[in-house]
Amino acid sequence: MSHSPIKTFVQPNPSEHSASDAIQFQDVVSGQFDADETSEVAGVAKRVLLPQPESPKLHKVLAQAGMGSRLEMEQLILEGRITVNNEPAHIGQRVQFGDHVKVNGKPIRLRIDPPPARVIAYHKPAGEVVTHDDPQNRPTVFRKLPKLFQGKWQSVGRLDLNTEGLLLFTSSGELANNLMHPRFGLQREYAVRVLGGLNSEEKQHLLSGVQLGDGMAQFGAIEDGGGEGANTWYRVTIAEGRNREVRRMFEAVGHAVSRLIRIRYGAMVLPRGLRRGAWMELDAVDIGLLTKAVSRQPNQLTDAPTTASTSKPNFPKKPRDGSNLRSRKPFSRANQADHTQPDPLKTSVGYIGADSFSRQRQEAGKKRGGGSGSRGGRPMLGQGK
C-alpha cells in the first residue's frame, strides 16, 4: 500500500493495513464497487455504539468542588436542597457536561469534562437527504444512525439526494466545523460519471477555476477512468464542499453528471465491505488522528518531500474594497498543494480507519471461532437500525 507524508497520520504498524481494505477509484470504474454490494456476505451483524465511561456521581462532583464532604452532599440531596436541570436530585444521580446544578437555589459551577467526540462513517445510498426534517418526507440519513444518548449527530458536510458514498458524522460540533473548514484543505475525492468526455481545454478550465453562482471553484486533480459509450468516468479531488459543487462545475463546461460517489474525505476512505445504508464507528485512535488533522495550522498539515516547495501557503486576505472573497480567483494549484492533504492511498502513511478495521477484524474472527457461521476476512460492520 502506498502511504501519505502527513506525520500526524502515522500508524504504528502501517504494513498491517492493506489498500484492499478501502474502496478505490478503480473499483468503481471496474464495477467491483457495485458487485460487492450485491454479493452474498454472511455474518454481517448489527452493531451498537461502543460504551463510554460513566458520568461522575453528583455528590462526588460537589465534594470535589469544595461544597462539603460526600456524606454532607448526600444529606443535602435527601433534604431536596439540590436540583439538576431544575429537577430535584436523587441519591446516586450522575451528572454530565452541560447539566445545571443548584444548591439551595444557587447555581453552582462544576468542572465536568465534555464527553469524547464520537465519529461514525456512513455509506450513504442515493435517494437519501442529509437533514433531520424533510418537508417532502423523503428518507433521511439520520433514520439509520445509532441513537446518541447525549447530544446529536452532526454531519460533516452534505451529499445531495442523488450522490452516494462516504459521509462522516460526529457528536462534536467543533470537530465537524473544523473538518469542513476550507482553511485546512481536507480533500474530498469523488468518482464521477459524466455524459461525454472532457477535452484538454475543459480539463484545464476545471483545474484553473470556473465561475459558479456562488464564486469561483476548481478541482485539485482530474484523472481519466475510461468508460463505455457516452459515459466517461473521472476521479476528481476538491478541497471544499459547497452545495452540488462537483455537479455544477461539470455542468459549467457542458457535461451532465450521471453518477457521483464520494470515496474519500481527507484521509478517511470509504471502507470496503461497508454496504449502502450501513455505518461503522471509529476507534479512539482514529478519532485522535482525525482531530490532529485539523488541530494544526494549515502550513503544518503536510510534511512535504524535499522536491516540493516548503514556502508558506498563500492564503487570500480579506479584500479591502469589501467585495465578496468567493467571487475572486481561487488559489493556484501550486499554492493549494502546499496545504491540502495528500492522497493517503498514493503517499506514505495510509488512511484513517485502519485501527477501527483491526478491531472489527478481531471481533469477526472471534465470532467465526465461536461458530457464528460468518465467512471471509471482512470486518463485522455496523448496520443502521
Which tens digit of pLDDT belongs to each residue from 196-236? 999 999 999 999 999 999 999 999 999 999 887 789 999 99
Q: Please state the pTM of the whole predicted model.
A: 0.70
Has residue 372 got a pLDDT over 50? Answer: no
Strands 154-155, 164-170: pairing is antiparallel
CB 97 within 8 A of CB 115: yes
Catalytic residues: 160
Has residue 332 got a pLDDT over 70? Answer: no
> Would you call 243 helix, strand, or coil by DSSP?
coil
Q: What are phi and psi of 8, to 5 degrees?
A: -70, -10
Rounded distance, CA 115 to CA 325, Å? Answer: 37
CB 353 within 8 A of CB 282: yes
Q: Of 188, 332, 198, 293, which is closest to residue 252 (Cα–Cα)? A: 198
The Cβ of residue 285 has, within 10 Å, a number of other Cβ atoms equal to 16
pLDDT band at 348 (very low <50, low <70, confident <90, very high): very low
The span from the first CA to the last CA of the chain, in angstroms, equals 34
C-alpha cell at 160: 445531495
CB 57 within 8 A of CB 65: no
